[in-house]
Amino acid sequence: MKLFRFGDAGQEKPGILDGAGRLRDLSAVVADIAGDVLGRESLARLKALDPSSLPPVKDSPRIGPPVGLVPKFLGIGLNYRDHAEETGMPIPEAPIVFAKASSCVSGPYDPVLQPEGWQRMDFEVELAVVIGTRAKNVVRADALDHVAGYCIGNDVSERSLQKGGPGEWIKAKSHDSFGPLGPWLVTTDEVPDPQNLDLALDLNGERMQTGSTSTMIFGVAELVSYISKYMTLMPGDVITTGTPPGVGMARNPRVFLKPGDEIRATISCLGEQQLKVVAES
């Protein structure tokens, strides 16, 4: 099942794709794709619907982020061995967990904003995990039971802030538009193995990143279990699980984002994002 949200920012409505890939309006069934709607019982009810019986989405509205409320936006650093190696960092012995402000969440086709003076903005295609049910101290074997589904994430970062001193990661990764998600929230029944997905990112038509979730150092189940020991994961929480090699800061010469750049990010089963960098006014 593929869920999405459509409409102007802050006024999105819930939707579902039908069997032919057409957009259908879910707003008469649920108020939003958030909170308890992400739970197992609610998702089962949505899956039992006949999408063709729902009204089609008219015209071509904006597609927003597929989750309406993200209480916590967490990221995992250096979770692909070859990415850690390209940055010259040691292979982590335990997951490196950091936070992005939830206000950075944006849609899969929204502009990526470049603030004045920020000249080292970087891209990171990532598998994003959306929590469906409360998870606290869960064991690895049960961890995926707490996941509602998956979507594409792009952990946009301003490297000059991230590398500017200790504790700067959240500032480097939390500017408005630095957390595009979507287009779809693909439920777990359509992603039986989150460790068997191909990722790719193109910048202006040139391949920058290629990878597979099979090469993660810490898999999705281990990450959910590990994080749940330190904080309670709630419905709508998002975990971006690390990026494969090819990021701009690790290239020679380095490649950083600039206004006019176009980014295409894809993950098998999850669709694609198409983003354009624009100067923030």
Domains of the chain: 67-279 (3.90.850.10)
Query: Distance of alpha carbon 262 from its chain centroid, rounded?
Result: 18
Between CA 35 and CA 52 the distance in angstroms is 25
Q: What is the pLDDT of residues 223-274, one digit of tens each?
A: 999 999 999 999 999 999 999 999 999 999 999 999 999 999 999 999 999 9
**Pair of tokens at residue 201:** 């990112």
DSSP E strands: which ranges in 12-120? Answer: 13-17, 23-25, 63-64, 73-77, 96-100, 105-106, 112-114
Predicted model pTM: 0.96
Q: What is the pLDDT along the chain (281 residues), one digit of tens a residue?
A: 999 999 999 999 999 999 999 999 999 999 999 999 999 999 999 999 999 999 999 999 999 999 999 999 999 999 998 787 787 778 899 999 999 999 999 999 999 999 999 999 999 999 999 999 999 999 999 999 999 999 999 999 999 998 766 557 999 999 999 999 999 999 999 999 999 999 999 999 999 999 999 999 999 999 999 999 999 999 999 999 999 999 999 999 999 999 999 999 999 999 999 999 999 98
Query: Distance of alpha carbon 29 from its chain centroid, rounded?
Result: 25
Please tell me whether residue 36 adopts helix, strand or coil conformation. helix
> What is the residue whose two structure tokens read 């480097």?
172
Burial of 41 by CB count in 10 Å (0-12 exposed, 13-18 middle, 19+ buried)?
exposed
Name 46's Cβ contacts closer than 8 Å, sequence gap at least 6.
1, 3, 16, 26, 29, 30, 37
Name 272's Cβ contacts closer than 8 Å, sequence gap at least 6.
108, 152, 183, 264, 265, 266
Closest CA to 143 of 43, 60, 220: 220
